[in-house]
Structure 1
Amino acid sequence: MKHSRQMPDESLENIKVLLNPKLGKPVKSLMSAQSKACYHTLISNKNLNKTSDEYEKLLANYILLCDEKYLCKTVIPDSRFWAILCDNCQKLRSETLVANLIRIFNVALKCQDSNKNEVIVSICHISRENSQLIGILLQLLSQRPIHIPLFTDTILCITLFLKCSLTLCETSLSHAVEFVPRILILLFQYNFPASMSELLYIEDLQPLILEEFVPLKQRLINFLSSVSIDDYSCSLKADLLTAIKDNSVFQKGLEMEMGDLPSINLLNAYDTFTFLNSPNGSFKRLYTEQLLFGENDFPLYEAIFKLSDQFRRLFNLSGKKENQYSDSERDLKLQIATAVLNRQTCFYKTLELFLRFWIESLAKSQSDLVSLLNLAIITLKYVCLSSSDLEAAIQTKSLLKTQVVALDSMRYKFARTLQLDSIKKEQYRTWSSSIASFDTMLSGQVRDYVRHQRLLQLQKGTWVYAENPLNPEAGTPKVYFLIVSDNHANLLAREFETQTNDLPYLFDNKILTSPGSEALANGRTKVVVLKHITSFKSMELTTPSRRTSSNVYIKLDEANVYTGVELKDRNDRTVLKFYLDTEEGRYIWLDGLKLISPFQHEDISEDTKEQIDTLFDLRKNVQMINLNVRQDIIVPPPEPSDEDEDEEFYNLETLKKVTQNFILIKIQVCRQTIFFYL
């Protein structure tokens, strides 16, 4: 059947004058009557878009110039308008389409009439009936090169669209439960998170993404978590059941674990649906093997639902901030934004990690599941929110890739170490205000213990060189026998030609030796008063490296290391000079003399500092454990008028009681065997 070509009528020519700048100068805004006439003409001549390129230009100009009230009350709620816009959107320039949609969304959000809910619902309907409109916006952000003005407007447009859906959460829950999941799934299907993650590093776009879009998405996620899937009729439940049935392995898992789908919230359903529709081949293989060969089936759906709730709590952004962010605050926002934007990727990788932990730990019970959930969340927090390699990841714009690689390579044993550190930090944070005095006391106790340990070693005495052993002109260098006096006040030294067979001994503040060795001694015992020593100067001396002979299978570099030590008084005069020939000697004698000195010397070796820190942590960890379990020593709470009525308080005397009746243990710290009370 032959159709006659539709001819433009007189009214169409009239609106061209109003809307087409080539024919006449358009007014700033149409009056209500003009808006009505133009709209009816556009509707009546909608088929002209097939034969003329003028129609879409008139439509675009009409959206920008239409009376705001008429646009809100009549145009936006009309399904014919959306059908026309959808038919012409491909012909419009990207900038024009984005500008049109921004006007529509802004007008809808500002609408104060009683039909505002109808207007917002009409806009959200495009996620189902005219999804290509939003699809064009999402695809724009994947185009390269990046055009900053267009990309800024496009992100703003998508943000306004999400604001419309958020408005439904306040005005019409029945519509919100239908459209919010659908809109978020639409973003997921168009790979929108990946595009936004790349744009997140562009300075001109970053504020809009961090302060507007990401917090808005988080609010929508929070809404989903607040509504049960059984409270309202929504298509998400049917879509989820279909996705489960389409995967036989996951269908079998649901039947074995729960039988039917339980009453979950919309966020649980959304996360499950997107997980099932993700490229999950590696997880599916591992899960299938576990179902076939594992003794205790992994509770997949319970793990998904619990992880979904915990994931939401872990990542949150508050939104705008008046002042500039510090570097650390902005870095944290970037980390959180990356996780929120790429929720499905991070969620999938964490769930796979959860499954690996279940297998490696031989988990089997509900308590094991809860424990591993906490472990997975702590690991996720460490990977996504720690500062490790953060600067490099931001500079290379690979924050998401870094997080994914870290989750893939995470080992169960290391994750447990992270969990232990997290528990300790939380305990310290909880008790920090009450335990500060105890920390000071404990630090002093540990330092006194190490000091006493060194003193015992110094009172045994040792041989050191009196002359530089590396000086070739000295021949056989003379030696000192050093020992600390019984009253701990003096360092005693006596020179010998060489070491004696029998170890010298201390008597009446003098260094003596057996009669047969007396001939090797030179002079009397030198007495160095420790309180006169104000500084310890040390210098490392190393012989030139020499190779082992060529007739051995393994060749080693050999080098002798000595430490020259000078004890100086307040006038910077050298009171005693000697040379140590072992690392252990330097560790015991140089640090030991500094520790027993009346003056405070902070420049002790790293080995000794490590020993002090290790012993302090050991004692403090035991004390923290006791704080959790010793209910009998909790101090009575303060009067009701005091703050923090519900806290448990420990005073210093109470904390001292915790350290009573410690057990004796033996540990190895910095090459030293130490017996220590815990």
Structure 2
Amino acid sequence: MSSETYKAILKITGIVVSGGIFVAKEDSLDKYLPVFESLIEYLDVIDIVTHKLYLQDSKITYNSIKLVTDLINKALRFKYDGIITLAGRMKHVTFFSTVGNLIETDDKSILDATEYLKIAYYNLNEYLNNSRFDLSIKSHQVMLNNLFIYLEVSLNEYGTPATTEEYIKAGFTENPRNFVIENFSLLLAMNLKIFLKDPNFTFKKRFHEELMMSNHSRTFPLFLFMDRCTQMWIDIFHRKDKYPFIYSSVLSWELMIYYTMNNCLILWQETKAQLDNGSDIDKIFQLLLSNIDSLEIEMSKKLKSVEDCLDITSSKTGEEMRRTQVLRIKDQQMNQWKPKFTEFNKVLATEVLDFVSEQRVIQLLKGSWYYFLTLAPNRTAIYYKEYLEKPALNPSYEELEGRAIRLRDIHEFSSTKVGEHIGEEEKRHNSMLISIKGTISYERITLLGENNKKLLSFYTDTEVNKYVWLDGLKMLKGMFSPGQLSNDTQRQIELLIDIRRNTQLLALENKSVKPSATDDDEDDEYYDLDELTAITDNFHYR
């Protein structure tokens, strides 16, 4: 058949299915049955339509997409169950993922047609998910038979028909056909069938290797994971507003199922999960779900293929996935309690600042040398005394009382680095010399009184000593604004707040947030501030 002949047949069929040639206003399934029944009788036509997409001919591409979209929409409108057989074949030959991942075009008509196909395919999956097996319907019989063609030869490494024991270990009980009929939606059955026939051997190789290594004593429970996998993606697609880029990739549904099942098998093996411990499977899916937000971000960037985005276990280690999970749980907990934490955060910030300030004051009370400097026990003055060399013992307060600067007399501080360029000039003239720049950090700190009168200058020889005195005195006098403390002190404050908040959120993990009368009402009548404050007890001095 020539390309032009194929295009003509495709276009005519599309016009018929669209209903555009019918004059009568009343629409009915009878008008389209000849096309549906012909396609069901000659299913290999679906294979040809899919194969022709690779020609990258814009007319063929557009008419193929439009034909399939109209077939789905008409079948769903008239509740025609024959679409089940056609959908199974389209999924089998990867028509949808081919459209979603192969075709790259700027043709607006094709782009618009693809968007309509996405909507139709989403609705088709919803229909299949809500449909249960009814063996009085021929298409249901065909679906069940097609599933077992692949299932019975997939449960052992030899490709021989599965034994009753193998069916039981894989989760299908001793009567697998009856089990499928009673427990499977049509979408679940179709997902499992397409998954088992997938030519990608990565999963099958791992699956069969585990069977051999365990002497068939440990079997990946196919049914349980496929059931949870299908429901997980259905739930995600119901959240279009939160996951718009995942939703936009609905034509990659079969890829999502395959890679999720492969990820599940890898995690099942790595975590040594046990079937008799029901929570093990829950934890695997919790781990996968915690990475869905990252998947949405990856898809939004469009820097990687859908397959690469979905292959999470290849791009992340188990430890990295768990770290993402912990951060997600933390964010959820924070968002849950955020409306109730306004006052608590103020208390927490004040207490942490008091705690860090107390640490700095304790360091000041220990004193430091060059001048011997120390904070008075009552914290109202700085004692100082100059020594030519450091004595064996620190001087007593009685020895220092004669020379003191009252804290209330200190109005400002200044800090100047000294010795920064020592040796640099000589080094420029002699390449054999080595500069010691950076190995020492001398700083002159000056305490200023009223009208910038110099009260005292002293030196520190390390960054730590510098900030012990500068930050300590600033915090003791309350003479600082945001951003005026050293980076080290600021990091310490932020880290302590984060640790304290995380620890205290753990105490609220199993508590539910009490509903408020209004979203922005922070009256104690609607939440218990005492409960939030009480969990801070016994964390530091009072």
TM range (shorter): 0.7 to 0.9
| Structure 2 partner of 1:244 | 151
TM-score, length basis structure 2: 0.77
Distance 1:653 1:293, change over 3 A: same
CA distance in 2, matches of 1:205, 1:606: 57
Please state if 1:627 is matched with 2:508.
yes
Q: In structure 1, the residue corresponding to 2:373 is in which secondary structure?
A: strand
Distance 1:651 1:158, change over 3 A: same
Encode CA deviations 1:348-395: one digit per residue, 9 max, x unaligned. Answer: 22222222222222322112111222212223x1441236x964xx3x
Q: Which moved more, 1:402-411 or 1:105-114?
A: 105-114
Please state if 1:305 is matched with 2:224.
no
Q: In structure 2, the residue corresponding to 1:297 is in which secondary structure?
A: coil
Please state if 1:166 is matched with 2:45.
no
Distance 1:100 1:504, change over 3 A: farther
Q: Which of 86, 100, 108 does residue 196 from structure 1 map onto?
A: 100
Please state if 1:258 is matched with 2:137.
no
Deviation at 1:296, TM superposition (A): 4.7
Q: Which of 562, 576, 595 does residue 475 from structure 2 map onto?
A: 595
Asked if structure 1 preserves the Cα contact closer than 8 Å seen for 2:364 and 2:374, the reply is yes
Asked if structure 2 preserves the Cα contact closer than 8 Å seen for 1:489 and 1:530, the reply is no
Distance 1:238 1:623, change over 3 A: same
Q: Which amino acid aligns with 2:439?
A: N
Q: Which has the larger radius of gyration?
A: 1
TM-score, length basis structure 1: 0.63
Alignment of 1:139-158 (within 5 A): 139-143=51-55, 150=58, 154-155=61-62, 157-158=64-65
Encode CA deviations 1:160-180: one digit per residue, 9 max, x unaligned. Answer: 522431342242153343433
Alignment of 1:371-390 (within 5 A): 371-379=283-291, 381-386=292-297
Distance 1:527 1:607, change over 3 A: same
CA distance in 2, matches of 1:163, 1:437: 58
| Structure 2 partner of 1:562 | 441
Q: In structure 1, the residue corresponding to 2:363 is in which secondary structure?
A: helix
CA distance in 1, matches of 2:204, 2:527: 51
Distance 1:91 1:587, change over 3 A: same
Q: Which amino acid aligns with 1:258?
A: F
| Structure 2 partner of 1:80 | none
Deviation at 1:498, TM superposition (A): 4.0
| Structure 1 partner of 2:430 | none
Deviation at 1:306, TM superposition (A): 0.7
Please state if 1:650 is matched with 2:527.
yes
CA distance in 2, matches of 1:218, 1:567: 72
CA distance in 2, matches of 1:367, 1:91: 58
Asked if structure 1 preserves the Cα contact closer than 8 Å seen for 2:420 and 2:437, the reply is no
Alignment of 1:442-481 (within 5 A): 442-463=348-369, 479-481=370-372
Show structure 1 runs of 5+ residues with no match: 1-87, 320-328, 464-478, 513-523, 546-556, 665-675
Alignment of 1:202-281 (within 5 A): 208=112, 211-230=115-134, 232-233=137-138, 234=140, 235-249=142-156, 251=162, 253-256=166-169, 257-259=171-173, 260=176, 261-262=179-180, 263-281=183-201
Asked if structure 2 preserves the Cα contact closer than 8 Å seen for 1:564 and 1:580, the reply is yes
Alignment of 1:453-602 (within 5 A): 453-463=359-369, 479-507=370-398, 510=400, 524-525=403-404, 529=408, 532-533=411-412, 541=420, 559-562=438-441, 564=443, 566=445, 578-586=458-466, 588-602=468-482
Q: In structure 2, the residue corresponding to 1:284 is in which secondary structure?
A: helix
| Structure 2 partner of 1:107 | 19
Asked if structure 1 preserves the Cα contact closer than 8 Å seen for 2:68 and 2:117, the reply is no
Q: Which amino acid aligns with 1:501?
A: A
| Structure 1 partner of 2:5 | 92
| Structure 1 partner of 2:270 | 360
Q: Which amino acid aligns with 1:360?
A: E
CA distance in 1, matches of 2:247, 2:422: 54
Distance 1:167 1:106, change over 3 A: closer
Deviation at 1:226, TM superposition (A): 1.4
Higher relative contact order (CA 8 A, sep 6+): 2
Q: In structure 2, the residue corresponding to 1:174 is in which secondary structure?
A: coil
Q: In structure 1, the residue corresponding to 2:361 is in which secondary structure?
A: helix
Deviation at 1:309, TM superposition (A): 0.9
Asked if structure 1 preserves the Cα contact closer than 8 Å seen for 2:245 and 2:300, the reply is no
| Structure 2 partner of 1:436 | 342
Q: Which amino acid aligns with 1:618?
A: I
Q: Which amino acid aligns with 1:92?
A: T
Asked if structure 2 preserves the Cα contact closer than 8 Å seen for 1:390 and 1:399, the reply is no
Show structure 2 runs of 5+ residues with no match: 425-435
Asked if structure 1 preserves the Cα contact closer than 8 Å seen for 2:415 and 2:446, the reply is yes
Distance 1:677 1:619, change over 3 A: farther
| Structure 2 partner of 1:3 | none
- Tell me the matched-pair count: 508
| Structure 2 partner of 1:424 | 330
Q: Which moved more, 1:111-120 or 1:306-315?
A: 111-120
Deviation at 1:571, TM superposition (A): 7.1
| Structure 1 partner of 2:248 | 337
Distance 1:376 1:112, change over 3 A: farther
| Structure 1 partner of 2:498 | 617
Asked if structure 1 preserves the Cα contact closer than 8 Å seen for 2:263 and 2:312, the reply is no
Asked if structure 1 preserves the Cα contact closer than 8 Å seen for 2:364 and 2:472, the reply is yes
Asked if structure 1 preserves the Cα contact closer than 8 Å seen for 2:85 and 2:143, the reply is yes
Q: Which amino acid aligns with 2:255?
A: T
Distance 1:405 1:350, change over 3 A: closer
Q: In structure 1, the residue corresponding to 2:443 is in which secondary structure?
A: strand
Asked if structure 1 preserves the Cα contact closer than 8 Å seen for 2:259 and 2:311, the reply is no
Asked if structure 2 preserves the Cα contact closer than 8 Å seen for 1:215 and 1:316, the reply is no
Q: Which moved more, 1:272-281 or 1:243-252?
A: 243-252
Could you say what the CA RMSD is over the residues aligned between the two structures, in angstroms? 4.4
Deviation at 1:268, TM superposition (A): 1.4
Bigger strand share = 1
